[in-house]
Structure 1
Amino acid sequence: MSVLVLVETEEGRVSLVSREALSFARSLGAGDLHAVVVGPASESVVTDCRGAGVAVVHEASDPALERYAAAAWAAVVEAAGRAARADLVVAGGTGRGNEVLAHVAARRGLRMAANVVSVESLNPLVVQRQVVGGAALERATVPSRVRLLTMAGHAVEPTAADSPGEARVSPLPVTVDPQDLRAQVVRLEKRESADTSGLQAAKVVVGAGRGAGGPDGFAAVDALAERLGGAVGVSRVVTSLGWRPHHEQVGQTGSRIAPDLYLACGISGSIQHWAGCASSRTIIAVNTDADAPMVTKADYAVIGDMHEVLPAVLEELG
């Protein structure tokens, strides 16, 4: 049995979610581990794959693939699957990972399980996956001969293999069908202020919601985040009201975080917000409502006004 992982890259390296997907796939102990990269596989990407235990890196470097097109990427994954004789294809649960494998499933008439957090058995493939925005887990069976799944972000820690893989680069001959390029990314625009990497990588996140009271209610939140060497995260209502920029939003339509500590202040804890913070190792809720969902789900809770609690914490920290 062999497993193929769709590897996404970020600034010339394997992205965090793809490193998690490689670790996840390797943990299954299913046999040879293969990776497929759309675009030239840089030495840094190959090094990352080698450390993850990848045997073969299938490289599709056709210039027509320079711009992201889900259907074209799906064709690449299909070709790599054939070359690897893959029984299982895994991708990170990103927008691209989910979209590409959904295309593969539709093209091949296969079934796909999205947002998987664990695998109970390989034959048949039985998985636990997140549903309802991460608020519940579903046990599902994927009966296809070739099984497709995407791994929920931060379901596992990215770890190095006990023994490095060969990571032999194998050029993948793919003829890109013009029909597969009908819908593609034509331009990327990045705001200087829209960097979410700090939030997603932070070990400590101080979050605030409607309880902040307004755009002027974040002074203690900002101060505590800075004091702890962390980042600020907010709920959707805060960005909808224009109190804080969207790139700070945590949730299903914002960033998914997995810090060591998430301090959620004045956040009720909707299903959508919980989907973005559920992977946090420790959650402390500060809220005046003892029955708020965030309070009931948190590891620890302080029932009180964030505008009184946070200044007291800052004073204690000195």
Structure 2
Amino acid sequence: MILAFVEHESGLPDELSLEALSLARELATAEGVDLGAAVFGDEGAALADELGPYGVEEIHHVTHDELGGYAPEAWGESLAQLADEIESGTVVVPGSDRGHEVAAHAGATLDAPMATNCVAVEVDDAGVYELERHRWGGSLLEHARLEGDRKLVSAAEHEFPVESADEEAVPTATEFTPSLEADHLRVRVDRVESGDEEGIPLGEARVVVGGGRGVGGPEDYDQLEELADLLGGTVGASRAAINEGWRPHDDQVGQTGAKISPDIYLACGISGAVQHMVGCKGAETILAINTDPEAAIIQKADWAVVGDLHEVVPELNDAIREQT
């Protein structure tokens, strides 16, 4: 069985987990085995209806009196014990911070090799994985072989489309209670405090308007805010703008900020450094506005306007208002 670790919020799987399921389903098909899912949390059992369309045949709801909240070592230990219990040859996790943390603990327990941020995986006749994966924040594509009786892989963010299975499954749901010790629970989430972020979170926005050093200053983001409002999106920023103190860190798009996958990303006054492109490479379409025709963002964009954003964006705002 291929076992996928699925993160969820109130019984709804998150986008990165659905992406990981696409990879897991490919592997299950290639190896001719079933696809199962491991879920944690009180609402885990409710995911049966949500995961059936993606080909999940078995849902394993991990429950324990001490697992009321996130505890990385305990979750990793639980995932490892479950993989042993159901004799899963491969564990697939989303390319999120939590997915990588849980898989690392599980891999240490299982003494199994792990390949992170995979963008493609092929299975040869001997069961060896020929894979490609991102390294160095996406600036390097590595080809590697992964072999072993037990393997762990993570799906790189926004590299696998969320697609339903050819045939919807009706998954069975079973509870699994791991055997945990006090040391497994020495680190856990004690409480969650909400930030003061308003509007649509960057990771969920279908339209993102990004601003870099070329915006000029914090007051000049008003026109970008207006554009985002007109398009039903949200505003992001490059690291350069964040470092200038023009926008809060929550707005940062890039390797050390948010990874976005909007339908369209409008990059205004952004040079297009590698670290920034790592954060926005999941965008369906990139439209860049920049005065420098040789800027990296212009070369990488699907569409480009070579011009002053302080002239282009107001004109764009006026044109959108006229159409609404």
Same fold per superposition (TM over 0.5): yes
Using the TM superposition, give the Cα deviation of residue 42 of structure 1 relative to its aligned residue in structure 2, in angstroms.
Answer: 4.2
- 1:86-141 CA-to-partner distances (Å, cap 9, x unmatched) read 11110001111011111122222221111111113352101111112112321111
Q: 1:180 aligns with which of 184, 188, 201?
A: 184
Matches within 5 A, 1:1-318: 2-28=1-27, 29=29, 30=31, 31-42=33-44, 44-121=46-123, 123-193=127-197, 198-317=201-320, 318=322
Q: Secondary structure at the match of 2:66?
A: helix
CA–CA distance in structure 1, aligned partners of residues 305 and 138 of structure 2: 24
Using the TM superposition, give the Cα deviation of residue 194 of structure 1 relative to its aligned residue in structure 2, in angstroms.
Answer: 6.1
Q: Which moved more, 1:306-315 or 1:53-62?
A: 306-315
Using the TM superposition, give the Cα deviation of residue 23 of structure 1 relative to its aligned residue in structure 2, in angstroms.
Answer: 2.1
Using the TM superposition, give the Cα deviation of residue 33 of structure 1 relative to its aligned residue in structure 2, in angstroms.
Answer: 0.3
CA–CA distance in structure 2, aligned partners of residues 280 and 55 of structure 1: 31
Task: Tell whether the 8 Å contact from 1:199 to 1:257 is kept in structure 2 after alignment.
Answer: yes
Q: Secondary structure at the match of 1:65?
A: coil
CA–CA distance in structure 2, aligned partners of residues 304 and 251 of structure 1: 24
Q: Secondary structure at the match of 1:77?
A: helix
Using the TM superposition, give the Cα deviation of residue 41 of structure 1 relative to its aligned residue in structure 2, in angstroms.
Answer: 4.3
CA–CA distance in structure 1, aligned partners of residues 181 and 54 of structure 2: 32
Q: Which moved more, 1:172-181 or 1:290-299?
A: 290-299
Task: Tell whether the 8 Å contact from 2:134 to 2:140 is kept in structure 1 after alignment.
Answer: yes
Task: Tell whether the 8 Å contact from 1:235 to 1:273 is kept in structure 2 after alignment.
Answer: yes
What letter corresponds to residue 160 of structure 1 in structure 2? Answer: S
What letter corresponds to residue 148 of structure 2 in structure 1? Answer: S
Q: Secondary structure at the match of 2:257?
A: coil
TM-score of the superposition, structure 1-length normalised? 0.93
Using the TM superposition, give the Cα deviation of residue 266 of structure 1 relative to its aligned residue in structure 2, in angstroms.
Answer: 0.7
CA–CA distance in structure 1, aligned partners of residues 239 and 89 of structure 2: 40
What letter corresponds to residue 227 of structure 1 in structure 2? Answer: L
- 1:255-287 CA-to-partner distances (Å, cap 9, x unmatched) read 111112111111112222111100111111111
CA–CA distance in structure 2, aligned partners of residues 177 and 273 of structure 1: 42
CA–CA distance in structure 1, aligned partners of residues 51 and 34 of structure 2: 13
CA–CA distance in structure 2, aligned partners of residues 173 and 191 of structure 1: 33
Task: Tell whether the 8 Å contact from 1:79 to 1:172 is kept in structure 2 after alignment.
Answer: no
TM-score of the superposition, structure 2-length normalised? 0.92
Segments of structure 2 that go 5 or more residues without pairing to the other structure are none
Segments of structure 1 that go 5 or more residues without pairing to the other structure are none
Q: Secondary structure at the match of 1:220?
A: helix
Identity of aligned pairs, percent? 39
CA–CA distance in structure 2, aligned partners of residues 255 and 314 of structure 1: 26
Task: Tell whether the 8 Å contact from 2:209 to 2:267 is kept in structure 1 after alignment.
Answer: yes
What letter corresponds to residue 34 of structure 1 in structure 2? Answer: G
CA–CA distance in structure 2, aligned partners of residues 43 and 71 of structure 1: 22
CA–CA distance in structure 1, aligned partners of residues 260 and 249 of structure 2: 15
Q: Secondary structure at the match of 1:161?
A: coil
Using the TM superposition, give the Cα deviation of residue 192 of structure 1 relative to its aligned residue in structure 2, in angstroms.
Answer: 3.4
Q: Which moved more, 1:225-234 or 1:259-268?
A: 225-234
Q: Secondary structure at the match of 2:193?
A: coil
Using the TM superposition, give the Cα deviation of residue 162 of structure 1 relative to its aligned residue in structure 2, in angstroms.
Answer: 2.5
- 1:268-313 CA-to-partner distances (Å, cap 9, x unmatched) read 1222211110011111111122222212211222222211111222
Task: Tell whether the 8 Å contact from 1:236 to 1:273 is kept in structure 2 after alignment.
Answer: yes
Runs of 4 or more consecutive aligned structure 1 residues displaced over 4 Å after TM superposition: none
